[in-house]
């Protein structure tokens, strides 16, 4: 959960006070909770109509069965309808403690100034949950499995295949990021045609097998998902899957030094571009 403000230099103190009040002084009015409940239910309904969102929810549900990563961000309809003000207050008193809060800033703010403001605004947060509960973070268990949902009303097939990774702290985190660049991404609407450096995307484009394809790398604390997601016509799914799996396997045997060096340069460029602006820098520091 992130509370964020972007203000002028002279308003940094007021912004920290405002964020502190939101975090520690919210009234959680019953009427406001009911209004937000309706908003979340409508948002959930809209997301269920977006295959590109649904497929990654389903992917997590099958890959991490029985663990918290299998749950969607918005939660189930039953939970949304039943959550009460007391549930929210209990969650806050359990999880909103000093050791679990990070204050980050970027841009026109001095480090010492932010430290002083944070200490004043958040220094009173308890070190342990008021209820005495211990916040358990069970490890996510990977389950090799698949889930298939057939809907003949959809014009295209949405397919995702993924493998488990070690997460942000794993020694292979950076090589996996390079692999993401090696496999690449492509969309028929980009205008570049089949002129892409990534071999997998070029092969998919030249064969007219997909509408779009992208390599994803989602990292968590101690696990993650690395794989390929593509959108294809029903009669080209087999070919698209064959090309995708061949190129994933090729990562272990046939990648050239030139391809690796190009992917490393692309990764460096992408990382720098992602930090273009104080908003992105602040989020990176916070993470």
Q: How far apart are the first and last CA of the chain?
A: 11
The whole-chain average pLDDT of the chain stands at 92
pLDDT (0 to 100) of residue 116 = 95
Letter string b/e over residues 81-98, b meaning 16 or more CB atoms within 10 A of that residue's CB: eeeeeeeeeeebebebbe
Give the number of other CB atoms < 10 A from CB of residue 242: 13
Q: Are 91 and 133 in contact (CB under 8 A)?
A: no
DSSP 168: T
pLDDT (0 to 100) of residue 207 = 94
Letter string b/e over residues 243-255, b meaning 16 or more CB atoms within 10 A of that residue's CB: bbeebbeebeeeb
Give the number of other CB atoms < 10 A from CB of residue 203: 21
Q: For the segment 194-218, what is each residue's pLDDT rounded down to a tens digit?
A: 788 889 999 999 999 999 999 999 9
Distances, alpha carbon 102 to alpha carbons 20, 88, 213, in Å: 12, 20, 36
Those residues of the chain that have pLDDT short of 50 are none
State the Cα–Cα distance between residues 200 and 182, nearest whole angstrom. Answer: 8
Within the chain, how many helices (H) and strands (E) appear?
Answer: 11, 4
Question: pTM value?
Answer: 0.87
Q: Are 205 and 193 in contact (CB under 8 A)?
A: yes
Contacts 24+ apart (CB under 8 A), 264-273: 264/178, 264/181, 266/181, 266/197, 267/177, 267/178, 267/180, 267/181, 270/181
Of the candidates 242, 176, 235, 237, the residue with the CA atom closest to the CA atom of residue 203: 242
Q: For the segment 108-166, what is each residue's pLDDT rounded down to a tens digit?
A: 999 999 999 999 999 888 888 877 777 777 888 899 899 998 888 889 999 999 999 98
pLDDT (0 to 100) of residue 222 = 87
pLDDT (0 to 100) of residue 136 = 76
Considering all CA atoms of the chain, what is the largest pairwise distance in Å, rounded to the nearest integer? 62
């Amino acid at each position: 959960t992130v509370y964020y403000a972007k203000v002028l230099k002279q308003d940094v103190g007021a912004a920290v006070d405002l964020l502190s009040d939101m975090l520690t002084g919210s009234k959680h009015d019953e009427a406001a909770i009911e209004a937000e409940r309706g908003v979340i239910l409508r948002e959930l309904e809209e997301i269920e109509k977006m295959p590109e969102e649904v497929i990654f929810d389903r992917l997590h549900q099958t890959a991490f069965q029985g663990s918290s990563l299998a749950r969607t961000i918005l939660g189930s309809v039953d939970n949304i309808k039943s959550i009460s003000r007391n549930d929210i207050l209990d969650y806050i008193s359990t999880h909103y403690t000093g050791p679990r809060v990070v204050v980050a800033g970027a841009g026109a703010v001095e480090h010492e100034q932010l430290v002083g403001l944070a200490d004043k605004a958040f220094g009173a947060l308890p070190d342990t949950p008021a209820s005495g509960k211990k916040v358990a973070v069970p490890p996510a268990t990977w389950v090799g499995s698949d889930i298939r949902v057939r809907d003949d009303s959809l014009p295209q097939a949405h397919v995702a295949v993924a493998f488990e990774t070690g997460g942000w702290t794993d020694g292979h985190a950076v090589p996996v990021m390079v692999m993401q660049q090696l496999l690449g991404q492509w969309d028929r609407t980009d205008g570049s045609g089949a002129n892409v450096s990534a071999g997998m995307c070029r092969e998919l484009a030249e064969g007219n097998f997909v509408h779009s394809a992208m390599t994803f790398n989602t990292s968590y604390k101690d696990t993650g998902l690395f794989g390929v997601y593509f959108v294809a016509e029903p009669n080209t799914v087999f070919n698209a899957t064959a090309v995708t799996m061949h190129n994933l396997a090729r990562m272990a045997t046939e990648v050239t030094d030139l391809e690796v060096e190009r992917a490393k340069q692309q990764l460096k460029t992408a990382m720098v571009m992602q930090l273009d602006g104080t908003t992105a820098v602040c989020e990176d520091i916070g993470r």
